[in-house]
Structure 1
């Protein structure tokens, strides 16, 4: 006989508030079509719990006053297996039975253990999962509240067995074996309820911060599970995690980024490997956020986290509200701090000694409220660059030379006698020619790429004055920097704070080493018709490059006569297609910030 069955009773032993067990209830309900649904809840709270179920998908807590002025609570959430069972019974007009015993000042006490990830049920089934967990489910002590509850539930089930043919029971994993043993012994003991406190139980709604604190599942998944059950859709956790990541990349705050589907899939693969290292089947929220942070950085991770923790159902019903204060780490009922104790045991697990969440530091950039129409007039009198962006730009243009070398096939070959290394391979022709000497010859291939001294970066082929009205040349601040000249958008129209503004390059010329003062590029050299801007940058690069190589990064190659012009001056012009660089990387280079004062550099990272 199945471990999950006894007589006409089919049990779904569950960890409370875990979505996978709610799904198992739906599966069992559709397969067996029960005559009654029995759950591990006291019947004295039936009307309050049903009121909470009627409020779903809005979240509720049934709060029960205790003698020590704290509250025990029963969560009425879509992801709880017992609540799912009661919802199904109501939706199908079936009788329901709340068979548990109300115990005064009840506090769950079970020996901690590390259960397997409940997502394993998807692969091995509920019964195999239960069989795996069974050795860790220790029986309750004699005379304990747990034992009284189990005796009470067994007696209620015995009564239901004589009345109905098919009973679906939903209870905690710890209770099913003791209840089965009591049913086998035909032991029936009904205990009186112990009603706690003087105040009546009350239903409370949850504030936004309390929702994800108490849900114990990723709120985004709970939301979509409820949507799926309402509209008959298929719930697939992995598909939803992918959907979450794709939605986050469309956030307005990330409009300047271009995260690709490949990068999203890399996050999912990385999160899956992190889950395996944590002995999990599917990634939890920590695994997912860590993968996001280490793959695409804090800004994207914050967008994922905000969406993952959001449970957007508005709750304007006039009932008490419980909110969580992250500063005091206390729950608030109105203005009063309260202590909440779970009446139903949470998933039992060992404490996390690694404090992983403390290690996951995600920095949210500060924001400054600006008045409508704010104009940073300081920009017209001088500004400073943002040093990290300077370093990124310098590193980028240096690496472009390596990228170009990997794309070039033009090489010179040097042949020499073999002396211990094959270098780039056997020089077959020379070896045959000297066959009589018995010597081997090898070849060494060297790139003929000229050393780069000027870089022309064309981010946008249409350099019209409306989009890129600002033209400027800037001198290097030190010997490791380049002189640059560029066409860019108007940064005054895009303030980040009162002292930080943002713009993007349309095209740029970088020259390194920096030019002597008498050869610096003047503003008048850039002031040409918009249709000639690209050509002017190439012309300046050829004329001013301190080294023989000029790199032209653009989607369209330069006009042929520029190659001749460069050659006539003893220089070489190289074209590197723009699509050889990732779009996201290009956007990162194209975007830049300006600061009003040098001192602003100290705190600019807080906003950029």
Structure 2
């Protein structure tokens, strides 16, 4: 044990084999284990260490007990935490446990005579009986029950078995080790927040630009799941489930990968214990493991069953340096699910405008119907005439034919060098024209590239063939890009309604130009839409061939 502790922060398992079978009892020598921390404290401070438990042959562990989340100790203190647990602890009143407790009390009494202060680290279920032995002086020395075992050996957990054996998120153990080494404060919950923020900053996730509200939704969801499980701090399963449900599989996968990082490793000759198909293996052979020092936290699931959570990891291709040249031999094809998202958004926005846009109310003298309510001002004004007036709201008959979405007011040619128009593939799709980032700089695979709209103009129903937008129509100086798109919307819209979505409304003269052509511009602020919904609309992919659509879902 002392040898393994000396290897920390590298992780070690002290393995014991009793019968030459492939079943091993093991003692975890991990930073997250309280007994190991006690040994480290003694070694760091040059203090004596005494192992006082009694070896019992064929010892049977007392009934499993899941204590409340020990994070509560930070708030209520250790003594209060113990007092709250004490009445629920399994009773250790069998003869074997009595011998263990009597023996431990004997050694504690012996040590207290030789040392001014003694730190005892042991199980809560045994402390009351040990203390009673000390008070009543009924303690007694008992010899170890020896049994034949093969020579113990040290092993180390492999990457695949790390979480199962460590019984804690490896990232948290790593941060605890750093805090311990440099005498820094450590708070488990704050470290989880740090973990979530680090995932947000990873290259594959940073471009999502998750805002504070989205991150808080993840955190709140994880805390609620923890409370359902009668815990204060969410475990890895609840963190991953929360990430999947709020931010999606991509964030969840990056969270899983970072959670499993434990960098303290070395190349040595210790055997590696790994996890393959839910079975532990060592040296390619299937083995069984049994924790020698029982940890009741491992028994919180019925029959020790795994909890399943599906996270889909998208495929990644090796992309050659010269892949760009291949694209110019083909046309471009859209990704059908993104087409559906865009078309559904367009339809919803038309309904939103119809529901929100109302004309000024018409006022009528009351004649039997309250219509849309009492018009108080007009009624008060005519109080002397003893007349009552009511108001009537009539929604405009709106038919939107053009949708202009300005996602970025600064449509610079440097940031959005791509100007393109795409025609609808069928009558239920829109013709679109847009300014976008350069997708060739953001390859997803050799056949898929990714970009983001700076501005998007859509027409539905599609324009007639002689009215289609050409590249020359939108190839214009960057200062005139918004002007040009607005004028195209006004000129080419086949109905009387144009929806303008941007952070600020269009210039007043655009309303006048539209009115001269018997059309009307309706404005909706970008602030009316969630950041997540805007991301779904702004981001798009281009496919090299139509056949690429068959595999696009594996990458996007």
Q: Same fold (TM over 0.5)?
A: yes
CA distance in 1, matches of 2:397, 2:124: 70
Is the counterpart of residue 138 in structure 1 residue 87 in structure 2? no
Match of 1:343 in 2: 292
Q: Contact conserved, 2:103 with 2:139, CA < 8 A, in 1?
A: no
Q: Does 1:550 align with 2:501?
A: no
Is this contact kept in 1: 2:64–2:296, CA < 8 A? no
Partner of 2:32: 79
Unpaired runs of 5+ in structure 2? none
Residues 464/164 of structure 1: CA separation in 2 closer, same or farther (3 Å cut): closer
Matched, 1:273 2:224: yes
Q: Which moved more, 1:164-173 or 1:334-343?
A: 334-343
Partner Cα separation in structure 1 for residue 314 and residue 148 of structure 2: 47
Secondary structure, counterpart of 1:214 in structure 2: helix
Change over 3 Å in CA distance of 1:556–1:382 after alignment to 2: same
C-alpha separation in 2, matches of 1:372 and 1:193:
68
Residue 102 of structure 2 contacts residue 138 of structure 2 at CA under 8 Å; is this kept in 1?
no
**Structure-1 separation of matches of 2:372 and 2:11:** 69
Structure 2 equivalent of residue 471 of structure 1: 419
Counterpart of 2:322 in structure 1 is: 373
Deviations 1:167-219 (A, max 9, x none): 211012232233334433523132135254232x2222222222222111222
Question: Are the structure 2 counterparts of residues 475 and 330 from structure 1 closer, same or farther at C-alpha, using a change threshold of 3 Å?
Answer: same
2:403 matches 1:455: yes
Aligned with residue 153 of structure 2, among 187, 195, 202: 202
Residue 101 in structure 1 maps to residue 51 in structure 2: no
Q: When the two structures are superposed, what TM-score results if normalisation uses the length of structure 2?
A: 0.89
Alignment partners' CA distance in 1, 2:37 and 2:371: 70
> How far does residue 592 in structure 1 lie from its aligned partner after superposition?
0.7
State the Cα RMSD in Å: 3.0
Q: Tell whether the 8 Å contact from 1:367 to 1:607 is kept in structure 2 after alignment.
A: yes
What does residue 3 of structure 1 align with?
none
Equivalent residue in structure 1 for 2:42, among 81, 89, 97: 89
Q: Distance in 2 between matches of 1:205 and 1:488?
A: 51
Query: How far apart, in 1, do the equivalents of 2:430 and 2:304 lie?
Result: 46
Q: Distance in 2 between matches of 1:356 and 1:266?
A: 26
CA contact (8 A) 2:400 2:495 kept: yes
- The answer to whether structure 1 residue 121 and structure 2 residue 70 are counterparts is no
**Shift in CA distance, 123/424, structure 1 to aligned 2, threshold 3 Å:** farther
Classify the secondary structure of the residue corresponding to 1:167.
coil
Most deviating of 440-449 and 165-174: 440-449
Which consecutive unaligned segments of at least 5 residues does structure 1 have?
Answer: 1-48
Equivalent pair of 1:62/1:203 in contact (CA under 8 Å): yes
Partner of 1:301: 252
Contact 1:137 1:173 (C-alpha < 8 Å) held by counterparts: yes
Larger CA deviation: 332-341 vs 373-382: 373-382
2:307 is paired with a residue whose SS is helix
The alpha carbon displacement at 1:131 in A equals 2.9
Preserved CA contact (<8 Å) 2:453 2:538: yes
Paired position in structure 1 for 2:103? 152
Q: Deviations over 1:244-288 (max 9, x none)?
A: 211111111123211112222222222222222222223222222
Verify the 8 A CA contact 2:56 2:144 in the aligned structure 1.
no
Aligned to 1:98, the other structure's residue is in SS state coil
1:514 CA drift (Å): 1.8
Shift in Å, 1:340: 1.6
Moved more, 537-546 or 175-184: 175-184
Report whether the alignment pairs 1:324 with 2:274. Answer: yes
User: How far is the alpha carbon of 1:142 from its aligned partner?
Assistant: 4.2
Partners of 1:110 and 1:420 lie apart in 2 by: 81
Q: Please give the alpha-carbon distance, in whole angstroms, between the structure 1 residues aligned to 2:365 and 2:256.
A: 63
The match for 2:338 is: 389
Q: Is the 8 A contact 2:319 2:446 kept in 1?
A: yes
Cα 1:166–1:100 shift into 2, 3 Å: same
Contact 1:220 1:308 in 2 (8 A): yes
How big is each residue's C-alpha offset from its partner over 1:129-173, in whole Å with a ceiling of 9 and x where there is no partner? 3233334433446454x4443343233223223322322110122
Task: Give the Cα separation in 1 of the matches to 2:71 and 2:397.
Answer: 55
Distance 1:427 1:463, change over 3 A: closer
The farther-off stretch of 435-444 and 393-402 is: 435-444
Q: 1:64 to 1:420 in 2, by over 3 A?
A: farther
Q: Counterpart of 2:390 in 1: which secondary structure?
A: strand
Aligned twin of 1:32: none
Task: Find the aligned partners of 1:597 and 1:503 in 2 and give their Cα distance.
Answer: 17
Distance 1:512 1:468, change over 3 A: same
Q: Which residue of 1 aligns with 2:239?
A: 288
Q: Distance in 2 between matches of 1:83 and 1:211?
A: 17
TM-score, normalised to structure 1's length? 0.82
Q: 1:352 to 1:482 in 2, by over 3 A?
A: farther
